[in-house]
Amino acid sequence: MPGFELFGPEERKHINDVMETGILMRYGFDGPRKGVWKSKELEAAICARLGCGYTQLTSSGTSALTTALACLGIGAGDEVIMPTFTFVASFESVLSVGAIPVLTDVDDTLTLAPEAVRRAISPRTKCVMPVHMCGAMADLDALMHICNEHNLILLEDACQSFGAKYKGRALGTVGHAGTFSFDFVKTITCGEGGAVITNDKALYLKCDGYTDHGHDHAGVDRGADTHPFIGYNYRISELHAAIGLAQIGKLDQFLAIQKKNHSALKAMLSTIPEIAFRRIPDAEGDTHTFLSWFLPTEAIARAVVAELRQQNVLAGNFYWFDNNWHYFRKWDHLRQAATLNNLNEDQRKALLSLKPEAFPASDAVLSRCVSTAIGLGWTEAQTTEKGEKIVAAVRKVLAREKALV
């Protein structure tokens, strides 16, 4: 899955271009950098690849989300509908702009359930933020319909799904804005990095300034820039952008390998009638970074996970229901409002009202789900071996369950 599996001479070449100038910062130092602008090149490459008008690189996916939310005008008192299954950065970014995360059930797409979104809307709702988890997409037609009906912003958290498409359109380009992460374990990586994409020039210009202390970047002298609004330092470095520039050139290769390995593994697991698979609203648009599969009950899923651990093949197989970082059930620090600084009162009340048992529909999905990360470096023999071991573990557990009946 992660692009770092196939690091090579392309990354070294782009890094060396930067090192030869010694200019690691993305802005200024026009003369000494000798025409080397890796961040600008990567932004242009992302626009070309995804078919969007504007890209603003950031230091991380988290800062990309924070930037997008702030520049979309979302702040104190506003509610942002988001899924119970995501990465903690989703709610961190909402809290960072003073807004209130409204956690909402997911369905068998592993993304926001549209009807749950509809039920969660209140007079304070300003934004719906689907998270395209594990390389595939939410039901964007349904979510966009809801947003249009209620005059809400649709912000796509596509941090885990760079290169995925929905009905021919790149994820991130369907809503008002989209965000990506290029951290070390993403499909393409910068080591650390992120991006906001949009087709709205006014929004892009806000993002451009917001990520660099409010600089307007209007002239050729950085020191003479004016500051139309307060911003922060969410800049990417030229070294990180250089890695990403090499990686985006390999994206088609990565996606082809993942699809091949994903298809082979799915074919093997499909021989077990008791296994069902994640519903993907547009299967052709999947990046195939994960194969997500469901077992009949939580008890059977837990037994399979235990058997995979016993057979030393659990690595790369994720049981999200017990995961500290990705599912609401384990976010004790969120429910306890455990921050180092004071939250605003609306945020504090909203977090303290969250209950561990509040999302039975999400529990019913995640408690039965295992997601297998698809390796870029797997040989055909390794893919077959992994599939055989998973199938053997599942069959062993199912046979044991049948014997108990």
- The 10s digit of each residue's pLDDT in 248-286 is 999 999 999 999 999 999 999 999 999 999 999 999 999
Q: At which of 222, 251, 280 does a domain end?
A: 251
pLDDT of residue 247: 98
User: What total of structural domains would you count in the chain?
Assistant: 2
Please state the rounded mean pLDDT for residues 63-92: 98
pLDDT at 404 over 90: no
**Residues 156-214 pLDDT 10s:** 999 999 999 999 999 999 999 999 999 999 999 999 999 999 999 999 999 999 999 99
Angle at 189 between CA 240 and CA 48, to 5 degrees: 90
| One domain, residues 135 and 183 | yes
Q: Measure the CA–CA gap between 59 and 127, rounded to whole angstroms.
A: 23
Please state the length of the chain.
405
- Within 8 A by CB and 6+ apart from 388, the residues are 268
pLDDT reading at 317 higher than 90: yes
272 and 192, same structural domain?
A: no
Percent of the chain predicted with pLDDT > 90: 97
The closest of 309, 359, 315 to 335, measured between CA atoms, is 359
Q: Are residues 15 and 25 in the same domain?
A: yes
Q: Do residues 173 and 41 both lie within one domain?
A: yes
Model-wide pTM > 0.95: yes
- pLDDT of res. 166: 98
Domain residue limits at 177 = 3-251
Of the residues 126, 165, 186, 206, which is catalytic? 186
pLDDT at 111 over 80: yes
- Burial 111-143, CB ≥16 within 10 A → b, else e: bbbbebbbebbeeebbbbbbbbbbbbbbbbebb
Q: 217 and 145 in one domain? A: yes
At a CB cut-off of 8 Å and minimum separation 6, what does 150 contact? 121, 125
User: Do both 296 and 217 map to the same domain?
Assistant: no
Residues 166 and 278 in one domain: no
pLDDT above 80 for 405: no
If pLDDT is split at 50, 70 and 90, which confidence band does 390 have? very high
| CATH for 269 | 3.90.1150.10
pLDDT(220) > 90? no
Tell me if 153 sits within 8 A of 129, measured CB to CB: no
The verdict on 168 and 307 lying in the same domain is no
**pLDDT of 301 above 80:** yes
CATH of the domain at 239: 3.40.640.10
240 and 262 assigned to the same domain: no
Beta-bridge partner residues of 81: 102, 128
Question: 42 and 98 share a domain?
Answer: yes
Single residue among 251, 267, 282 that ends a domain in this structure: 251
Per-residue model confidence (pLDDT) at position 87: 98
Residue 186 designated active-site:
yes
User: Of 220, 251, 282, which residue constitutes the final position of a domain?
Assistant: 251
pLDDT band at residue 140 under the 50/70/90 scheme: very high
pLDDT for 106 beyond 90: yes
| C-alpha pair distances (Å), 59 with each of 6, 65, 260 | 22, 11, 32
Give the pLDDT band (50/70/90) at residue 356: confident
- CB within 8 A of 138, min separation 6: which ones? 109, 111, 112, 130, 131, 132, 281
Q: Which of 67, 231, 79 is nearest to 152 (CA)?
A: 79
Which tokens go with 365?
Answer: 């999905």
Statement to judge: residues 121 and 141 lie in one domain: yes
Q: Are 181 and 224 in a shared domain?
A: yes
Residue 243 contacts residue 15 (beta carbons within 8 Å)? yes
pLDDT digits (tens, 9 = 90+) for 365-385: 999 999 999 999 999 999 999
Report phi then psi at 212, rounded to 5: -135, 55
